[in-house]
Every structure is written in structure tokens, then in C-alpha cells.
Amino acid sequence: MVAAPSTGWGQGKSDPLSEREKVTHVLNRFGYGHSPGTFEQVLEAGAEAWLKEQLEGGGAVNPILADSLDGFETLRLTPKECREYTTMEIPDDATAEERQARNRLRDLPKRELVRSVLLHSFLSERQAEEVLCDFWRNHFNVSFTKGGPSQNLIPDFESTVIRENLWGTFPEMLSDSATHPAMLHYLDNYLSRKPPTKQELAEVERRVRRRTGSRQRGEEAASIAAQRGLNENYARELLELHTLGVDNFYKQKDVVAVAEALTGWTADLSRNGTQGFIFKGNMHIEGNKRVLGRVIHSKTGRGKNEGEQILQLLSSHRGTADFIATKLVRYLVNDDPPSSLVAKVSKSYRKTKGSIPAMVDTIVKSKEFWARENFRAKFKTPFEFVVSALRVTGAEV
């Protein structure tokens, strides 16, 4: 860990934290460490008072951060607007310098988002906000490594799914993530559909033959189309990473049923498309599904509602409350999360229908959070270590 102003080391395991230790604790659990002058400011205000202000969305907007982000062009653009950068054409007669400039513009949404995450973490005085963003950003992971339209989709995912839901509820964030094209693309649900009928395959073959004049190409296109069908990627991640946890409560048949309920949940990622979520009924597998012992009712023309029923079922499941509580306590308190605190946070989830502020409030008001055995009990990740080093040295980036 980056060193903080000296604290006492002679205390017993049951001794309460000193005021200086409390400040060190909150600055490293709900922040990326202290910057020059911050430690004494928090000590004067009191660790609990600083934490209360942070969790109420307080903390000044650092003008240095605002200035650092001022020249960013793409952070507030819609996916469709970002696409104007990522698909920018390069003329055949472009010089090497022109090609390089165009390629840099194509990559701009990705580069600006990555840089903005670092700058927010390093410079923002709203440290608790940045720490919680990091938690949810990892929980609902999407990645630029997917390629394709990810560069123009993920910046909007960061702002509309993560940041806009940070002080809301888990069910709202889950729903927004499930309908965001970045998630649908990353986990391939935008391709998931009922198997094509013989009539549809024949139409594909005729269409390609008319366009190309080649019977062989038509047959090849129909053969490729015949391989399209149900994709379980998102359904599996939804159950094991976003809600219930790995192998908790569900079986393979539940994964299949969830995947079937979510067929037709896709995105308009075509060249001139909206780059947004759409539901396509002609891709949806009709019929009732059974998930976690519950019947998900299917009604003709209302296929999207099946996916919504799934999300509501998972959001209200005790297994989801326990899973989210465990992850939050592990992240904010100790890698070996105290079971007593996990139970309290899970109860808070169920009582408040997944309120994120309520769960965090339960943690910071608990005796476990302030217990000596949880002080300096976590190592920093490489990212946290680098940001802490930048903050404590007051480095310029």
C-alpha cells in the first residue's frame, strides 16, 4: 500500500481504531488513498463525517479534473454519434500522415473513455463515487477486446448503465445492462434467435442468388444461416456472474430456458442503424419457460415481457441478495468477507429492493467495517496502486 501518515501499530486485535487509523481506513476503502493535504483535512472533519458527505454524493468537483476532461470529444456522445468516429473511412489516396490521423480518430472513443476513468479516479474529490464505479464496472463487465462496434457502444454503457445508476437500485442497473447494446454485443445475445425455418432458409438462398447470380453462393448463405440459433452466453453470465453466482440455485436447463426467453433481445448495429436496443419478435422462441421452478408465461406478441419477467425474478431472489452482498463486503471490507456483515447487507438488499446506497450504508455503519482485523487487510490491485501513487505524490498526468 502507498504509505499514509503514521499510525499506531502497538494495539491489540480488539482495540478500536484511532482517529488517524479511521482516516487511513476510509481513504483506502472509499477512495484511492490520500492526496497532498487530504489526510489532514479528513482528520479535521472526522472520518465518519467525510464518509457521510461522500456517500451523499458530496465532494467538490475538482476544477483540475474538469479542465483535464474539457477537451474530450466523445464521452457524452450516443453510440450512433460515436460510430461516426469508429467507422471513419480512409481515402485510398490518403498520405501516411492522413491515415495515421484518421486511425487515431477511429480509436478516439476508446482512448478517451480509458483516460477519463484514470483521470476521474486520480483527480476527483468524489472518491467514493469512483470506487463504486470501479466495483460495478467489473461486475457488469464489457470489453473493448470484443472488437466490432464495442468502441462506439462502451462509452455510453459507462455513463448510462454504471454512473447513472450508482445511487439507485441493483434491479435498475441490471435491467439497463441487459438492454444495452454493449452487453448484448459483448455476450452475443444480439445474435441469439430461434432456428430459421425451411421457408426462411429458402428465402436467404433466393436473395443471395438474385444478388450474386451464383447458385453456389446462395446455397452457402443458406447453409450458414441454418447454423444460427440459440446462444447461451449472456444467459449463463446473467445467472452466474450478474445475479445468483456460479452454480447457485440454477441448473443447465435453467440456462437454456433463460436463453430462450431472451431470444429477440438484440440491437440495431447495422451500418445506418440506431445502435440501440430493439426486440425482434421473429427471432423469439415462443412458449412458456420454466426458470428456477417458476413458469415464465409467454404471450404472442409480448415476447420481450418474458425477459423482463426473468430479470424481475432474478433481482428479487434471495440468492442474488446474498451474492451481491458478499461481493460488496469482499470489495469494501475484507477479501475473506465476514459472514455476519454479509447477512446484514443481504437483509438490507431484500428490505430496500436492492438499494445500492442502503447496502453501502449498512456496511459503513457496521462494527465489522471499523474492526481492527479489517484495517489494512486488503492489498491494492495494480490499478489502485498506480492511482494511489499518483494521488499521494501529487503527480501531473
- Cell numbers for 381, please give them: 490491485
With cell 445474435, the residue in question is: 191
**Which of 5, 44, 35 is closest to 124 using CA atoms?**
35
Per-residue DSSP letter, 169? B
**End-to-end Cα spacing for the chain:** 21
Q: CA triplet 120, 122, 127: central angle to 5 degrees? A: 70
Q: Specify the amino acid at residue 168.
A: G
Q: What is the pLDDT of residue 302?
A: 87
Using an 8 Å Cβ cutoff, are 365 and 26 in contact? no
- Cell numbers for 49, please give them: 463525517
d(CA 86, CA 65): 26
Using an 8 Å Cβ cutoff, are 313 and 319 in contact? no
Using an 8 Å Cβ cutoff, are 240 and 233 in contact? no
Mean pLDDT by runs of 10 across the 397 residues of the chain is 47 85 97 93 95 80 87 93 91 88 92 96 94 97 95 96 97 98 97 81 80 79 66 97 96 97 96 94 94 93 93 98 98 97 98 98 98 95 96 90
Q: What is the pLDDT of residue 240?
A: 97
Q: CA triplet 112, 118, 122: central angle to 5 degrees? A: 140
User: Residues with Cβ < 8 Å from 284, sequence gap 6 or more?
Assistant: 193, 194, 263, 264, 303, 306
For 335, other C-beta atoms within 10 Å of its C-beta total 10
Q: What is the pLDDT of residue 159?
A: 96
Q: What is the pLDDT of residue 396?
A: 86
